[in-house]
Amino acid sequence: MPWDLENDRPIYLQLMERIQQDIIKGVYQPGGKIPSVRELALEAAVNPNTMQKALSELERSGLVYSQRTSGRFITEDKKLLSHMKSELAKTHIHDFFTSMRQLGFCDEEILELVTEAIKKETEQ
């Protein structure tokens, strides 16, 4: 099933974000091997060159590393992974607050709604 990609942002950035999220969710484990460029490109329904660019950028960030004939692997650097997870969470929170403010909610109202939602989730 192709990945859900938007037309308004560079595809390689979206691919990077998706792979980062998969790492955080545990789809790819620290130290584990990730699928080949061709496999990932086929799965995402994108050009292999685009996937190669995304993986190269992830390598530059230190999240992924290559071993010549063995493929690419996820870093085992727990500090880097924890930092990435926190930064991704901050981005989602910022986007959420921006959307809520665009809907006309003030911070206190947003906090009330979030508190109610947490209560409902813990009751289930």
**Max alpha carbon distance in the chain (Å)?**
55
pLDDT below 70 — which residues of the chain?
A: 1
**pTM for the predicted model, two decimal places:** 0.79
In sequence order, what E strands does the chain have? 64-67, 71-74
Q: Give the angle 4-52-28 at the CA atoms, nearest 5°.
A: 65
* 2 found inside a domain: no
Q: 76, 98, 114 — which closes off a domain? A: 76
- Domain housing 99: 79-123
* 4 found inside a domain: no
Find the CATH number of the domain harbouring 32.
1.10.10.10
